Amino acid sequence: MRKGKLWSFALIMLLILSTALAACSGGDDNEGSGDKDKDAADKGGSENKTLVFGRGGDSTSLDPSRVTEGETFKVTVNLFETLLNFGEQDTTVQPGLAKEYDTSEDGLTYTFQLQEGVKFHDGTDFNAEAVVKNFERWANGDSDTFPYYNSMFGGFKDDEEHVIESVKADGESTVIITLKRPQAPFLKNLAMSMFAISSPEAFEKGDDEYERNPVGTGPFKFVEWKPNETITIEKNEEYWQEGLPKLERIIFQAIPDNSARLNALLSGEIDLADGINPADGVKIEDNDALQLFERPSMNVGYLGLTVTRAPFDKKEVRQAMNYAIDKQSIVDSFFEGRAEVAKNPMPSSISGYNEDVEAYAYDPEKAKELLKEAGLEDGFEMELWAMPVPRPYMPDGTKVAEAIQSNLADVGIKAKIVSYEWATYLDKASKGEADAFMLGWTGDNGDADNFLYVLLDEDNIGSNNYTYFKNDETHKLFLEAQTEVDEDKRIELYKQAQEILHEEAPWVPLAHSIPLLGGAKELTGFVPHPTGSDLLSNVEFK
Partner 1 sequence: MTFLVFMLIRAIPGNPAQVILGQQATKEAVEALTIKLGLDQPWYTQYFSYLGGILKGDLGESMRTRLPVADEIWPYLAATLELALFAMIIAVVVGVNAGIISAWFQNSWFDYSAMVLALVGVSMPIFWLGLMGQWAFAIELQWLPTTGRENVRDPVSAITNLYIIDTLIQGRFDQLWVVIKHLILPGLALATIPMAIIARMTRSSMLEVMRSDYIRTARAKGQKMFWVVYKHALKNAIIPVLTVIGLQIGLLLGGAILTETIFAWPGIGRYIYDAINFRDYPVIQSGILIVAFIFVMINLIVDLLYGLIDPRIKYD
Residue 45 C-beta: closest distance to partner 1, Å: 16
Closer of 223 and 500 to partner 1 (Cβ): 223
By the rule CB under 8 A, 46 interacts with partner 1 = no
CA dist 186 and 166 (Å) reads 14
Q: H or E segment at 129?
A: helix 128-139
Residue 86 C-beta: closest distance to partner 1, Å: 17
CA dist 129 and 199 (Å) reads 11
CA dist 340 and 348 (Å) reads 9
Can you list the pairs that 101-108 forms with residues at least 24 positions away whose Cβ atoms lie under 8 Å? 101/187, 103/187, 103/485, 106/182, 107/179, 107/182, 107/183, 107/184, 107/483, 107/485, 108/165, 108/178, 108/179, 108/180, 108/181, 108/182
CA dist 468 and 487 (Å) reads 29
Closer of 266 and 485 to partner 1 (Cβ): 266
Q: Is 174 exposed, middle or buried (0-12, 13-18, 19+ CB in 10 A)?
A: middle
Q: Mapping DSSP to helix (H, G, I), strand (E, B) and coil, where does residue 120 land?
A: coil
Closer of 88 and 161 to partner 1 (Cβ): 161
Residue 195 C-beta: closest distance to partner 1, Å: 14
One residue of 181, 422, 476, 489 binding partner 1 per CB under 8 A: 422
Burial string for 396-415 (b: 16+ CB within 10 Å, else e) reads: bbeebbbbbbebbeebbbeb
Q: Mapping DSSP to helix (H, G, I), strand (E, B) and coil, where does residue 261 land?
A: helix
Query: Which residues lie closer than 8 Å to 263 by C-beta, 6 or more apart?
Result: none
Closer of 6 and 500 to partner 1 (Cβ): 6
Size of the site for partner 1 (CB under 8 A): 70
Question: What is the DSSP annotation of 30-46?
Answer: HHHHHHHHHHHHHHSGG
Q: Is 6 exposed, middle or buried (0-12, 13-18, 19+ CB in 10 A)?
A: exposed
Closer of 88 and 257 to partner 1 (Cβ): 257
CA dist 297 and 531 (Å) reads 9
One residue of 23, 42, 45, 170 binding partner 1 per CB under 8 A: 42
Residues 372-391 that bind partner 1 (CB under 8 A): none
Residue 42 C-beta: closest distance to partner 1, Å: 6
Nearest Cα to 457, choosing from 471, 443, 440? Answer: 471
By the rule CB under 8 A, 248 interacts with partner 1 = no
One residue of 211, 336, 480, 492 binding partner 1 per CB under 8 A: 211
The values of phi and psi at residue 9, to 5°, are -60, -45
Q: Per-residue x/- mask for partner 1, residues 253 to 292, rule CB under 8 A?
A: xxxxx-xxx-xx-xx-x-----------------------
By the rule CB under 8 A, 447 interacts with partner 1 = no
CA dist 419 and 426 (Å) reads 11
Query: Which residues lie closer than 8 Å to 357 by C-beta, 6 or more apart?
Result: 343, 344, 498, 499, 502
By the rule CB under 8 A, 210 interacts with partner 1 = no
Closer of 410 and 427 to partner 1 (Cβ): 427
Q: How distant, in Å, are the alpha carbons of 235, 276, 293, 294 from that of 283? A: 33, 10, 13, 14
Type of residue found at 458: E
Residues 10-39 that bind partner 1 (CB under 8 A): 11-12, 14-15, 17-18, 21, 28-29, 31-33, 35-36, 39
Residue 98 C-beta: closest distance to partner 1, Å: 25
By the rule CB under 8 A, 209 interacts with partner 1 = no
CA dist 240 and 218 (Å) reads 9
Closer of 196 and 321 to partner 1 (Cβ): 196
Q: Per-residue x/- mask for partner 1, residues 222 to 241, rule CB under 8 A?
A: --x-xxxxx-x---------
Closer of 274 and 326 to partner 1 (Cβ): 274
The interface region with partner 1, picked from 50-58, 237-245, 398-406, 470-478 by CB under 8 A, is 50-58
Residue 450 C-beta: closest distance to partner 1, Å: 9
One residue of 65, 115, 134, 150 binding partner 1 per CB under 8 A: 150
Closer of 73 and 323 to partner 1 (Cβ): 73
Conformation bin of residue 265: beta by default, left when phi > 0, alpha when psi is -120 to 50 = alpha
Contact of 441 with 300, CB cutoff 8 Å: yes
By the rule CB under 8 A, 7 interacts with partner 1 = yes
* Strands of 263-353, DSSP E: 272-276, 290-294, 299-305, 339-341
Residue 462 C-beta: closest distance to partner 1, Å: 6
Residues 120-149 that bind partner 1 (CB under 8 A): 142-144, 147-148
The interface region with partner 1, picked from 248-256, 304-312, 405-413, 526-534 by CB under 8 A, is 248-256
Contact of 497 with 452, CB cutoff 8 Å: yes
Closer of 388 and 525 to partner 1 (Cβ): 388
Say if strands 290-294 and 249-254 run parallel, antiparallel, or are unpaired: unpaired
Closer of 115 and 450 to partner 1 (Cβ): 450
Closer of 69 and 106 to partner 1 (Cβ): 69
Closer of 250 and 305 to partner 1 (Cβ): 250
- Applying CB under 8 A, which residues contact partner 1? 3-4, 7-8, 11-12, 14-15, 17-18, 21, 28-29, 31-33, 35-36, 39, 42, 50, 52, 57, 60-61, 68-69, 142-144, 147-148, 150-151, 208, 211, 224, 226-230, 232, 251, 253-257, 259-261, 263-264, 266-267, 269, 421-424, 426-428, 430, 441, 444, 462-464
